[in-house]
Amino acid sequence: MSHTVLETGIAHRLSASGLDASDVAVLVNMTIAEDLAGGVDVTSVATVPATQRSVLELAARQHGVTCGAWIAAAVFDLVSEHDASIEVLIEDGSVVSPGDVLVRITGRTRDLLVGERTALNFFGHLSGVATATHEWAVRLEGTHTRVRDTRKTTPLLRTLEKYAVRCGGGVNHRMSLSDAALVKDNHIVAAGGVREAFDAVRTTFPGLLVEVEVDTLDQLREVLDAGADLVLLDNFTFDEMREAVAINAGRAVLEASGGLTLDDAEEVGRTGVDYVAVGALTHSARVLDIGADLRTI
> Could you tell me if residue 1 is inside a domain?
no
Please report the pLDDT score of residue 3 as a whole number: 65
User: Residue 190 and residue 148: Cα distance in Å, rounded?
Assistant: 27
Closest CA to 135 of 158, 112, 169, 163: 169
167-204 CB burial, b ≥16 within 10 A, e <16: bbbbbbbbeeeeebbbbeeebbeebeebbebbebbbee
Closest CA to 229 of 168, 267, 286, 180: 180
> Could you tell me if residue 2 is inside a domain?
no
How is the chain split among helix, strand and coil, in percent rounded to 5?
A: 45, 20, 35
Q: Are residues 54 and 183 in the same domain?
A: no
Query: Residues in the chain with pLDDT < 70?
Result: 1-3
Q: Are residues 181 and 118 in the same domain?
A: no
User: Residue 2 and residue 112: Cα distance in Å, rounded?
Assistant: 16
Please report the pLDDT score of residue 243 as a whole number: 98
**Which class for 256: exposed (0-12), middle (13-18), buried (19 or more C-beta within 10 A)?**
buried
Q: Are residues 228 and 146 in the same domain?
A: yes
pTM greater than 0.85 (yes/no) = yes
> Could you tell me if residue 45 is inside a domain?
yes
- What CATH number is given to the structural domain containing 95? 3.90.1170.20
User: Residue 297 and residue 149: Cα distance in Å, rounded?
Assistant: 44
Q: Are residues 24 and 94 in the same domain?
A: yes
Q: Are residues 175 and 289 in the same domain?
A: no
Concatenating the DSSP letter of every residue in 253-268 gives EEEEESS--GGGHHHH
> Could you tell me if residue 55 is inside a domain?
yes
* Residues that are catalytic: 117, 152, 184, 213, 234
Is residue 251 a contact partner of residue 259, using CB atoms and an 8 Å limit?
no
> Could you tell me if residue 176 is inside a domain?
yes
Q: Are residues 258 and 156 in the same domain?
A: yes
Q: Are residues 146 and 270 in the same domain?
A: yes
- What CATH number is given to the structural domain containing 255? 3.20.20.70
Q: Are residues 166 and 129 in the same domain?
A: no
Please report the pLDDT score of residue 2 as a whole number: 54
101-126 CB burial, b ≥16 within 10 A, e <16: ebbbbbbbbbbbbbbbebbbbbbbbb
Closest CA to 111 of 51, 157, 165, 154: 51
> Could you tell me if residue 3 is inside a domain?
no
Q: Are residues 33 and 57 in the same domain?
A: yes
Q: Are residues 16 and 125 in the same domain?
A: yes
Using DSSP bridges, classify how beta strands 253-257 and 95-96 pair: parallel, antiparallel or unpaired.
unpaired
Report the number of distinct structural domains present in the chain. Answer: 2
- Domain of 129 in residue numbering reads as 8-137+285-296
Please report the pLDDT score of residue 4 as a whole number: 78
User: What are the strands, taking DSSP E only, across the chain?
Assistant: 53-60, 64-65, 84-88, 95-96, 101-108, 146-148, 181-183, 210-214, 230-234, 253-257, 275-277, 290-296
Please report the pLDDT score of residue 207 as a whole number: 87
Q: Are residues 152 and 273 in the same domain?
A: yes
Q: Are residues 12 and 130 in the same domain?
A: yes
> Could you tell me if residue 192 is inside a domain?
yes
> Could you tell me if residue 102 is inside a domain?
yes
Please report the pLDDT score of residue 197 as a whole number: 93
